[in-house]
Amino acid sequence: MIIADGLTKVFRDRKRGEVRAADGVSFTCQPGEVYGLLGPNGAGKTTTLRMLSTALRPTSGTASVNGLDVVKEPQRVRSQIGFLSGNTGLYARLSPKEMITYFGKLYGMSGSRISERMTKLFDMLEMHDFAGSRNDKLSSGMKQKVSIARSVVHDPPAMVFDEPTTGLDVMSSRTIVQFIRQCADEGKTVIFSTHIMSEAMRLCDKVGILHKGKLYTGGSVNEILQKTGAGNLEDAFMKIVGE
């Protein structure tokens, strides 16, 4: 389970002064569930996810993963979570197979376990055709699949994806969405951020509407639509944030 309770992150900017990138964000995501943080660029999605993954320390508020506090026990949290950031680079001269093997070893996995896990991930993400190619020769969609496989090679119970399909073609996006759904079906706890409302309607069990650092509301897609009287999440979002 992932629990965020009043997560707040304040940055100080010379021109703008105090900037609350995340302001009292609270939600819960259960095993077997996909929770979507929805909002435009600058809403605070990435900041929130980075706090959950221990990459950023909250200014205030708390969060836990499987009962482990993200501030007090960051190393143990990292062993329980797979985190895909929007700007993670790949080692250009390595192949996907070499990359996943390397990160598996960093997680202390045995050679047989790495091989077993890599086969499963390459099946799920349709990566076998380019597993031996150099990373710098891959398309954007292929590179994103490698990044995802690297993030979850250790088979963590919780997964956090920051806009995993942004800028990808339809086929690559479809494969990644199916992968996320399959992870939840296997009992994983999955949080992902997106500004693509149709994607959220198709994938999420629950969503949270995030705007200007604040979580306006949360619940199942049907609950959000019923609450607003909207026919889709895009219209519901606009009604909720009042713009």
- What pLDDT, on the 0 to 100 scale, is given for residue 199? 87
- pTM more than 0.85: yes
The pair of structure tokens assigned to 98 is 């070499």
Nearby residues of 190 by Cβ (< 8 Å), 6 or more positions away: 29, 33, 34, 35, 158, 159, 160, 161, 180, 183, 184
Task: Annotate 148-158 with b (16+ C-beta within 10 A) or e (fewer).
Answer: bbbbbbbbbbb
How many Å apart are CA 191 and CA 83, to the nearest integer?
A: 10
Q: How many domains does the chain have?
A: 1
The pair of structure tokens assigned to 92 is 């250009």
The CATH number assigned to the domain holding 183 equals: 3.40.50.300
- What pLDDT, on the 0 to 100 scale, is given for residue 172? 87
The per-residue pLDDT string of the chain (243 residues; one tens digit each, 9 = 90 and over) reads: 999 999 999 998 888 788 899 999 999 999 999 999 998 888 999 999 999 999 999 999 999 999 999 999 999 999 899 998 866 678 999 999 999 999 999 999 999 999 999 999 999 999 999 999 999 999 988 999 999 999 999 999 999 999 888 888 888 888 988 999 999 999 999 999 988 888 888 899 999 999 999 999 889 999 999 999 998 889 999 999 886
How many Å apart are CA 82 and CA 153, to the nearest integer?
A: 8
Q: Quick one: which of 121, 109, 129 has its CA closest to 148?
A: 121
- What pLDDT, on the 0 to 100 scale, is given for residue 65? 94
Range of the domain at 237: 2-241
How many Å apart are CA 102 and CA 218, to the nearest integer?
A: 39
